[in-house]
Chain A
Amino acid sequence: MIAGLLLFLVLPLMVGGVVYALRRWGTLSSLLSIGTTLVLGTVILVLPLGRTVELWGRQIVMGGTVSFLGRELILEEVDRIAVAFLYLTASGIFLLAWQMSPRTLLFPVGLGMLSLFSGSLLVRPLIYAVLLVEIAIAVSVFALQVEGCPSARGALHYVAFSLLAMPGLLVIHWLMDRYALTPDNTVLLDTGAVLLFFSFALLMGSIPFHMWMPSVASDSEPLASAFVFTVNCGAIWFLLLAFLETYPDLSAAVRFAPFASGAGLAMVGVGGLMAASQRHLGRLMGYGALIDSGVALIALGIGSQRGLALALLCLLVRPFGLTLMAAGLRGLARECGHDLTLGTVRGLARRAPWSTCAFLLGGVSTAGLPVTAGFAGRWALYRVMGVSGLTSVLAMMLASLGLMIGVWRALHVLLAYSESPDEGAEEAKRETTERWPRAVVVLLAVAASVAVGLIPQVLAPTATRLAGFYTFFGR
């Protein structure tokens, strides 16, 4: 009998090794990665907890507690959805990477990181989860670095900022253990709360620790950046919720909700202003991710079960926008040698129409505008915040507008076909370099985004169900 949990720790690592060996054959390694993540993401959702299932002659049991290297791995209902989210998001990213950048280290490294993130979601106590997340973040450096690009700033910023968060999270565990013994010593609780806020501010890119986000997006492999912004950030969000659930005194003692709202507002404000001023498409995506993170924090700052559900909905729809944007950037980067400033992407819409389309629609979804997936989350959030939260709603709308200004500026430049008739004739002869497989993959991704935007109950009940497992805001 095989403990199903171990599959999620070991299998991705093994497949990652095979994929690394096969990376010369881009299609094979890509399809292997896509298949693995898709199967694992589906299996963890479909297989029932606590019952033995026979699969290919082997008996597998999901759920329960498993001991691994002396530590407990526990799969609960909430963890199933979280792990499935990470794996299915990764499969979507791998699918786009198959066409956009098939021979990068994203596949093997991504699989390894998924294994580590799975462990972080399943392991108890939380200090091991923190350590596993930090290892995964350190490992992501290998995927982020662009081959042939001398700048390593993005990866370095990401690792540096994220690593600085680790000490605080590890010490919280010790502080809360002490607090349990001496509950009248509120200094421990206050210190723990400050450390929690500070550490997750670093991990989530809250102001003033947000610089790594545009750096990662501008200097790194775009789809690897999308992996960081969606899968990594998703794991960090679940880690935050695990902390709040494990130490309810922390969220009760400090004014968590106002802090989260304030941090979110700052991210949204700065992100919107900076996005509107960007002339580098990669940094534009980075600020889009910052705005999106801020919106989720504002939702969390509502301080209720409903707010938590909205934050999780924003998290679930986030990959549709950022992944599309990243895929578009990767496609454009192939045409202009990884320099994604406005000057070099001029007129590329003709040579790379599908990449342009992906970038634009991804930007629209990240901005939360109709009729894409991001709109579903924003509509629900704005409606719930209503008149009482009008300032926050206005800030979020203006931030969306700021991001769209950047996107429109990019569109204006991408459509800049030559004005001269001679050059124009030459340009017209240069056919698009994008073949039908890429077009199909991009269309699929766009269709998925639009489908979720039009039929959000594909994801909304999942968000609500997920929120129901957390009790720190009460029921």
Chain B
Amino acid sequence: MPILNDLLAQAVFLAALPAVAGVFVTATLLVVSRDWRLNTIALALQYFFVTLLMTQVTRVEMAAVKALIGWVICLVFYLTEQQARAPARLDQSEGTLSLRNWFLARLEGWRHQGISARAAFSFMAALLVGVTVYVSSSAMPLPQLSQSLTMVCYLLAGLGIVLLGLSQDPLRVGVGLLMFLSGFDLFYVALEPSLVVTGFLGAISFVIALGTAYLKAAQLAASGEERAP
């Protein structure tokens, strides 16, 4: 933990516009993308940037706790998705795919097929939410927070709700809930800096992650039973 605190302390210079931009990019990516690897990385990065922003309103140690919880959640999602994709990978017998080849394959796919209608719609929705958030943050500032932090809170909450509304997959719904919670957490830690409350909010996030992972596993098990003769 001291190592994490030091790391965060060193990265504090990013806890301004770069972090805000980082949150916006990762949140948009989570809404638009369906690729589980990309989403997991984006979620982990988002937790990093949110933690950095949190250092503006609370102690570094508290922010570090939240970061830890967030990354453990990302690990849970990663393992669940990996489990989910395992049968498909075995069927395809592609062997191990390197990151570079994967990225090139993606790029090739986008070039030939273009962006899907769903992705385009999600992107437009994210843009719309972004514009609304920009206007709302100046019209309805949150107490105890600067305008940039208010914007981040509204952004995470808004995009979280969009993701909740557009998704049926348990893990994506879980990501949406966690984004919403992150946004609220960032605001509430300024109002109520109690460690117990932080712990409870972290527990809620963790239970949500476990719950959605469980639902995903149950879905997979049921689909597997249907496929089996």
A and B touching (C-beta < 8 Å)?
yes
Which residues of the partner chain B approach A153 to less than 8 Å between Cβ atoms? 168
A254 within 8 A of B: no
Are B208 and A155 within 8 A (Cβ)?
Answer: no
Name the residue in B200, B203, B223 with the highest tally of chain A Cβ atoms < 10 Å from its Cβ. Answer: B200
| Chain A, interface SS category | helix
Are A134 and B211 within 8 A (Cβ)?
Answer: no
Are A167 and B188 within 8 A (Cβ)?
Answer: yes
Number of contacting residues on A, CB 8 A?
Answer: 33
Which residues of the partner chain A approach B197 to less than 8 Å between Cβ atoms? 127-128, 131
Contact of A171 with B196 at beta-carbon distance under 8 Å, contacts A135-B204, A145-B215, A150-B226 already known: no
A69 within 8 A of B: yes
Which residues of the partner chain B approach A173 to less than 8 Å between Cβ atoms? 192
Residue of A nearest to B160 (CB): A164
Which of A42-50, A136-144, A314-322, A384-392 lies at the interface with chain B?
Answer: A136-144
- Which of B173, B188, B214, B216 meets A171, CB within 8 Å? B188
Q: How far is the CA of A70 from the CA of B221 in the complex (A)?
A: 42
Query: What 1/0 flags go to A117-160 for Cβ under 8 Å of B?
Result: 00000000001100110110011011001011111110110011
Are B200 and A148 within 8 A (Cβ)?
Answer: no
User: Shortest CB–CB separation between residue A150 and chain B, in angstroms?
Assistant: 4
**Which range contains the number of B residues in contact with the other chain?**
20 to 34
**Which residues of chain B (168-207) have a CB below 8 Å from chain A?**
168, 170, 173, 176-177, 180-181, 184, 187-188, 191-192, 196-197, 200-201, 203-204, 207
Residue of B nearest to A140 (CB): B211
Are A145 and B177 within 8 A (Cβ)?
Answer: no
Which residues of the partner chain B approach A66 to less than 8 Å between Cβ atoms? none
User: Shortest CB–CB separation between residue A370 and chain B, in angstroms?
Assistant: 41
Q: How far is the CA of A139 from the CA of B5 in the complex (A)?
A: 31
Are A152 and B218 within 8 A (Cβ)?
Answer: yes
Are A71 and B196 within 8 A (Cβ)?
Answer: yes
Are A70 and B196 within 8 A (Cβ)?
Answer: yes
Which residues of the partner chain B approach A241 to less than 8 Å between Cβ atoms? none
Q: How far is the CA of A404 from the CA of B176 in the complex (A)?
A: 38
Q: How far is the CA of A174 from the CA of B143 in the complex (A)?
A: 11
B222 within 8 A of A: yes
Are B204 and A138 within 8 A (Cβ)?
Answer: yes
Q: How far is the CA of A141 from the CA of B216 in the complex (A)?
A: 12
A275 within 8 A of B: no
B219 within 8 A of A: yes
User: Shortest CB–CB separation between residue A185 and chain B, in angstroms?
Assistant: 12
Residue of B nearest to A71 (CB): B196
Are B188 and A141 within 8 A (Cβ)?
Answer: no
**Which residues of chain A (170-214) have a CB below 8 Å from chain B?**
170-171, 173-174
Residue of A nearest to B168 (CB): A153
B94 within 8 A of A: no
- Which of A128, A150, A159 meets B223, CB within 8 Å? A150
User: Shortest CB–CB separation between residue A94 and chain B, in angstroms?
Assistant: 22
- Which of B191, B200, B226 meets A131, CB within 8 Å? B200
Are A127 and B192 within 8 A (Cβ)?
Answer: yes
B164 within 8 A of A: yes
Which residues of the partner chain A approach B207 to less than 8 Å between Cβ atoms? 135, 138-139
Are A163 and B208 within 8 A (Cβ)?
Answer: yes
Which residues of the partner chain B approach A174 to less than 8 Å between Cβ atoms? 191-192
Q: How far is the CA of A353 from the CA of B190 in the complex (A)?
A: 59
B35 within 8 A of A: no
Q: How far is the CA of A345 from the CA of B13 in the complex (A)?
A: 64
Residue of A nearest to B203 (CB): A135
Residue of A nearest to B164 (CB): A160
B91 within 8 A of A: no
Which residues of the partner chain A approach B211 to less than 8 Å between Cβ atoms? 138-139, 141-142, 155, 159
User: Shortest CB–CB separation between residue B47 and chain A, in angstroms?
Assistant: 18
Query: What 1/0 flags go to B149-168 for Cβ under 8 Å of A?
Result: 00000000000010010001
User: Shortest CB–CB separation between residue A154 and chain B, in angstroms?
Assistant: 10
User: Shortest CB–CB separation between residue B154 and chain A, in angstroms?
Assistant: 12
User: Shortest CB–CB separation between residue A110 and chain B, in angstroms?
Assistant: 15
Name the residue in A135, A147, A149 with the highest tally of chain B Cβ atoms < 10 Å from its Cβ. Answer: A135
Are A159 and B177 within 8 A (Cβ)?
Answer: yes
Contact of A170 with B170 at beta-carbon distance under 8 Å, contacts A138-B207, A145-B218 already known: no
Which residues of the partner chain B approach A138 to less than 8 Å between Cβ atoms? 204, 207-208, 211
Q: Which residues of B contact A (CB under 8 A)?
A: 161, 164, 168, 170, 173, 176-177, 180-181, 184, 187-188, 191-192, 196-197, 200-201, 203-204, 207-208, 211-212, 214-216, 218-219, 221-223, 225-226
6 A-B pairs (CB sep. < 8 Å): A128-B196, A131-B200, A135-B203, A152-B216, A156-B170, A160-B176
Extra pairs beyond A135-B203, A163-B177 (4, CB < 8 Å): A142-B214, A156-B173, A159-B177, A160-B164
